[in-house]
Structure 1
Amino acid sequence: MLHWTLVFLVVAIIAAVLGFTGIAGAAAGVAKILFVVFLVVWILSLIFGRKSV
């Protein structure tokens, strides 16, 4: 999932440099959403992945 976040971030940066503001904004929005989802899943896996002794 982090891979897709980085892909959309790169697409947003390239689109911004080329002047495609609509595409850059959409790709940046998707990258932000995927990053937040990735962080939530990562934190949940840290919390619930521990084994109690």
Structure 2
Amino acid sequence: MGRIPGSKKKRMWIREGDVVIANPWEVQDCKAEVIWKYTRPQVEWLERKGYIKY
């Protein structure tokens, strides 16, 4: 379960299957704060360069 900070909340929509960077909370390991969401071209570039296996 992730929380989108207020400054990004209105500009960012997250759907199942999206690739994101999340920072886990220190007090609750099951929750995190979403830092960044990758677009489809960015994910394809990361796959080609070998940074992620999707």
Structure with larger Rg: 1
Instruction: Return the TM-score normalized by structure 1.
Output: 0.26
| Greater strand fraction, Structure 1 or Structure 2 | 2
Which structure's relative contact order is higher, taking Cα pairs within 8 Å and 6+ residues apart? 1
Compare the two structures and name the one with the higher helix fraction. 1
Query: Could you tell me the TM-score, scaled by structure 2's length?
Result: 0.26
